[in-house]
């Protein structure tokens, strides 16, 4: 007869909507990144038309117009998903445990590793918000530069706008890696698995 202490820890339970938002986010982001790189190859941001190009393996769309179609289609899923996720976080008051507070900055100075991991998780989770806003706003400014002339004007010129938008790709990838590593530290692979199954 085995004791209850020898049982393996249970997988945490996540709300169905939280799982759905994560799945839509990952799928739409993958489509947007690969189609965005297809658009990039048509006129590389760095080095002009003869600049560094991304290998075909990482591209979606086949050519400029195909990449734009995929990119703009996924943009709506991505943007609306973030909007609904934001509403969900505030309606369910999950923001109290998801976003950083001054208490988290104090927690980073103590010795408790588990509490530090939670604090870092909330800080990283909060830091991605301006990056996501930059991705959406710079994307809108490029999508409809005539209609959103005031928005594209905030970036100065077209090249700065493109660089700002492109910057959000590695920033989101780095966020995803850190977010996943912190989740592994806090709740092992069971925590990550719970968000998708």
Q: Is the pLDDT of residue 4 over 60?
A: no
Residue 186 has pLDDT above 70, yes or no: no
In the predicted model, is pLDDT for residue 98 greater than 80?
A: no
**pLDDT bucket at 97, cuts 50 / 70 / 90:** low
Q: 195 or 143: which carries more pLDDT confidence?
A: 143
- Enter the pTM of the model: 0.73
What torsion, rounded to 10 degrees, do the Cα atoms 64, 67, 72, 76 define?
A: -170
Percent of the chain with pLDDT over 90: 11
Residue 1 has pLDDT above 50, yes or no: no
Q: How far apart are CA 178 and CA 30, in angstroms?
A: 17
| The pair of three-digit structure tokens given for residue 58, joined into one six-digit string | 């990482």
Task: Give the integer Cα–Cα distance in Å for 90 and 86.
Answer: 6
pLDDT digits (tens, 9 = 90+) for 123-135: 877 888 888 889 8
DSSP label of 5:
G
pLDDT in tens, 152-181: 889 988 889 988 998 888 898 888 888 777
pLDDT 10s digits, 13-56: 666 777 788 888 888 989 999 999 898 888 777 766 666 777 88
* Distance (Å, whole) CA 163 – CA 37: 13
Residue 2 has pLDDT above 90, yes or no: no
Q: Is the pLDDT of residue 12 over 80?
A: no
Q: At what angle do helices 64-91 and 113-143 cross, to 10 degrees?
A: 130
What confidence score (pLDDT) does residue 71 get?
93
């Amino acid at each position: 007869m085995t004791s209850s202490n020898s049982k393996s820890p249970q997988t945490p339970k996540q709300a169905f909507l939280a799982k759905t938002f994560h799945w839509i986010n990952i799928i739409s982001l993958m489509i947007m990144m690969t189609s965005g790189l297809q658009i990039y190859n048509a006129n590389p941001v760095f080095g002009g038309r003869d600049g560094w190009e991304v290998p075909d393996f990482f591209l979606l769309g086949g050519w400029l117009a195909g990449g734009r179609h995929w990119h703009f289609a996924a943009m709506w899923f991505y943007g609306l998903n973030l909007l609904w996720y934001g509403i969900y976080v505030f309606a369910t008051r999950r923001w109290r445990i998801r976003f950083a507070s001054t208490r988290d900055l104090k927690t980073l100075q103590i010795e408790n590793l588990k509490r530090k991991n939670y604090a870092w998780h909330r800080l990283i989770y909060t830091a991605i918000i301006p990056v996501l806003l930059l991705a959406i706003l710079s994307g809108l400014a490029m999508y409809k530069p005539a209609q959103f002339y005031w928005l594209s004007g905030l970036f100065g010129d077209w090249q700065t706008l493109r660089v700002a938008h492109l910057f959000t790709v590695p920033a989101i990838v780095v966020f995803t890696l850190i977010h996943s590593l912190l989740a592994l530290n806090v709740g092992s692979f069971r925590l990550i698995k719970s968000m998708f199954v």
